[in-house]
Amino acid sequence: MRDVLVIYYSYTGNSEKIAMYVSDKLDADILKLEPVIPFSSDYDEVVEEWQNNNIKKDVSIKKVDIDLAKYKKIVLITCTWWYGISPIMKRFLKDYDLSGKDILVAASNAGWIGHCFEDYRLLLPNSNIKGELDLLFSSSSDERDKLLISYSDIDSWLEKLM
């Protein structure tokens, strides 16, 4: 039985690409988090609305239809939104209990990771966080999907879960 679950939220696909890599590498199950009401597909619109407080910061997520109790080890990957973990990952960690599990956390970002790891720690008070990964992507608008760390950095992070 697989005992590792990769849980991710990705708006533009960067975190998703790494989540797929991790689930292949660890032969793990994978769970995609999704908002009930999708964000606009227009990147600049989402950035602007978020910045101007026009969209609700406390969003609802689709119900998770997976038995989390089956998994001893969890890998969490989210994009960074305004110096913290995405509101989707926040909502998930508030609604679902990962107490007692061994956990790796990552935040994809464009150079301003802010308080993402503090966010994870605050929302996972009873879990064993084994490793944190700064998943740095390019901030340049024409190559936002360019990963600026190496896959061997990702592999070293994954070893902390084994």
Ligand X SMILES: Cc1cc2nc3c(=O)[nH]c(=O)nc-3n(C[C@H](O)[C@H](O)[C@H](O)COP(=O)(O)O)c2cc1C
Q: Binding pattern to ligand X, positions 23-52, x when CB under 6 A?
A: --------------------x--xx--x--
Within 13 Å of residue 123, how many CA atoms lie on the same side as its CB? 23
Q: Is 146 a binder of ligand X (CB under 6 A)?
A: no
Q: Site for ligand X (CB under 6 A): which residue of 4, 7, 11, 104?
A: 11
Which residue's CB is nearer to ligand X, number 121 or number 144?
A: 144
Q: Find tokens 């998930």 and name the residue.
A: 92
Q: What is the dihedral of CA 130, 91, 47, 148, to 10 degrees?
A: 20
Query: Contacts with ligand X in 82-101 (CB under 6 A)?
Result: 82-83
Which residue's CB is nearer to ligand X, number 46 or number 129?
A: 46
Q: What share of the chain is helix, strand, coil (3-state, %, to 5)?
A: 30, 25, 45
Listed in order, strand segments (DSSP E) in 86-152 are 102-109, 128-136
Q: Please tell me what DSSP assigns to residue 27.
A: T
Which residue's CB is nearer to ligand X, number 21 or number 50?
A: 50
In the complex, the smallest distance separating the C-beta of residue 16 from ligand X, rounded to whole angstroms, is 6
Query: Contacts with ligand X in 125-144 (CB under 6 A)?
Result: 137, 144
Q: Hey, how many other C-beta atoms are within 10 angstroms of the C-beta on 44?
A: 9
The binding site for ligand X (CB under 6 A) comprises 10-15, 43, 46-47, 50, 79-83, 108-114, 137, 144
